[in-house]
């Protein structure tokens, strides 16, 4: 079992731009060359070179060059394991250490999208498979274990380290391990007020034998709708298997959750110390709703629906589903997590996913989405308050 590294108050990790700073530019259509130019700086030490390569890896990932991103990240982590995200933090910021795993952008909680707006100094500690932890880490007020359910091996390694950590530690990896789609579906199969679609994990050979239709199928480990499909019969299944890689798949029964206006509405809700906050509500004509492909920026009518959902969330959605939301948070047992959900035709909360790696951000244009900045500031303030309380030793489930 790993022992926590020594805490060195004099240790200053090499600075990186970080995922949030690069993502804001990528979201604004910056290409790879522009991202690399933004990173561009001279590396005069081995640690500085590692920071430069790590930022370059993130830039490649944001422009969907995943193979080169993985190679660059591995190079960076061969040279250094601890980095500091550049920020405008004050003279006495709250010091946060994020414990992370190597991997793509969905592997870790993207904390810098939030901490960039707080008086926080954010350091990143990467725990590399098969390698020992670094001998020391910077002094910090709170450690946030940021690895998501997509890396179960890392979570199993980190669970005992979480319990032994010498500073307040948040988001127990042992609890994050339970957030797989099949475990979430099983946990809420019979909870009043919640509809969790029946879901099983099967092998490719088992799936080839058929399933109950209509069914939603995706490879195990798939996120953001990658290779996710709605199948209506054996022919569609055969076509899907011919076009899709993978040896294990999640199969769920399809719930038609369209509203009376024919639109599918999906909510992303973040829980901070048990309190739910809406982060977006996407309305789409398609059953598989993702904010970026729902046409929200192009439709004033859809934005009006989202603005209304924001304005009425505390007294409307959250009030109607207060029992369900409370049950989900109690089961998760984490100070910070998210859910993707909707409302089922029978009025229950339709639960799609419980996760810790969704991006909570301020990248949307305030001109197009004027109702978003005030809401996101509420989320950011609540997260900052939670960090301060936990750093001070407040007692609650972490």
Residue 225's pLDDT band, with cuts at 50, 70 and 90, is low
Residue 393's pLDDT band, with cuts at 50, 70 and 90, is confident
pTM equals: 0.93
pLDDT number for residue 395? 40
Is 157 in the same domain as 229? Answer: no
State the chain's mean pLDDT as an integer: 94
Is 202 in the same domain as 297? Answer: no
pLDDT number for residue 397? 43
Is 283 in the same domain as 242? Answer: no
- CA 49, 53, 54 angle in degrees (round to 5)? 115
**Beta-ladder partners of 277:** 270
Domain that holds residue 122: 6-170
Neighbours of 2 (CB within 10 A): 12
31-84 per-position pLDDT tens digit? 999 999 999 877 779 999 999 999 999 999 999 999 999 999 999 999 999 999
**pLDDT at residue 396 above 60?**
no
* 183 in a structural domain: no
- Pick the last residue of a domain from 230, 253, 276: 253
pLDDT number for residue 224? 66
Is 225 in the same domain as 100? Answer: no
pLDDT number for residue 41? 76
Residue percentage of the chain with pLDDT more than 70: 98
Residue 304's pLDDT band, with cuts at 50, 70 and 90, is very high
Structural domain total, the chain: 3
Q: Chain-centre distance of CA 377, in angstroms?
A: 18
Identify whether the C-beta of residue 338 lies closer than 8 Å to the C-beta of residue 177.
Answer: no
End-to-end CA, the chain: 21
pLDDT number for residue 226? 77
pLDDT number for residue 343? 96
Worst-scoring range by mean pLDDT, 127-131, 244-248, 260-264?
244-248
């Amino acid at each position: 079992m790993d022992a926590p590294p020594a805490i060195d108050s004099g240790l200053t990790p090499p600075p990186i731009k970080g995922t949030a700073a690069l993502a804001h530019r990528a979201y604004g259509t910056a290409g790879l060359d522009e991202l690399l130019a933004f990173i561009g700086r001279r590396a005069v030490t081995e640690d500085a070179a590692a920071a430069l390569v790590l930022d370059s890896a993130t830039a490649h990932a944001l422009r969907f060059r995943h193979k080169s991103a993985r190679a660059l990240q591995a190079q960076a982590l061969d040279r250094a394991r601890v980095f500091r995200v550049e920020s405008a933090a004050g003279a006495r910021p709250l010091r946060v250490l994020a414990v992370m795993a190597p991997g793509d952008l969905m592997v870790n909680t993207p904390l810098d999208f939030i901490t960039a707006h707080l008086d926080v100094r954010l350091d990143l500690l990467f725990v590399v498979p098969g390698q020992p932890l670094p001998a020391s880490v910077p002094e910090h007020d709170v450690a946030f274990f940021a690895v998501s359910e997509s890396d179960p091996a890392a979570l199993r390694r980190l669970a005992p380290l979480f319990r032994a950590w010498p500073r307040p530690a948040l988001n127990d990896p042992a609890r994050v391990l339970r957030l797989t789609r099949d475990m979430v579906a099983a946990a809420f199969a019979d909870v009043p007020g919640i509809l969790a679609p029946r879901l099983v994990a099967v092998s490719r050979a088992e799936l080839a034998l058929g399933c109950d239709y209509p069914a939603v199928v995706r490879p195990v480990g798939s996120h953001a709708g990658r290779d996710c499909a709605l199948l209506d019969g054996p022919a569609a299944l055969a076509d899907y298997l011919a076009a899709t890689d993978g040896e294990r798949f999640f199969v769920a029964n399809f719930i038609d959750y369209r509203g009376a206006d024919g639109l599918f509405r999906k909510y992303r809700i973040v829980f901070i110390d048990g309190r739910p906050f809406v982060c977006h509500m996407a309305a789409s004509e398609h059953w598989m709703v993702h904010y970026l492909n729902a046409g929200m920026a192009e439709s004033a009518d859809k934005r009006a629906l989202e603005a209304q959902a924001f304005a009425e969330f505390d007294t409307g959605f959250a009030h109607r589903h207060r029992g369900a939301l409370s049950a989900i948070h109690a089961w998760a047992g984490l100070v910070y997590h998210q859910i993707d959900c909707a409302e089922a035709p029978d009025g229950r909360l339709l639960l799609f996913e419980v996760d810790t790696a969704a991006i909570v951000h301020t990248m949307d244009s305030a001109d197009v989405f004027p109702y978003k900045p005030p809401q996101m500031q509420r989320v950011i303030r609540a997260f900052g308050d939670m960090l301060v309380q936990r750093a001070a030793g407040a007692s609650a489930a972490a």
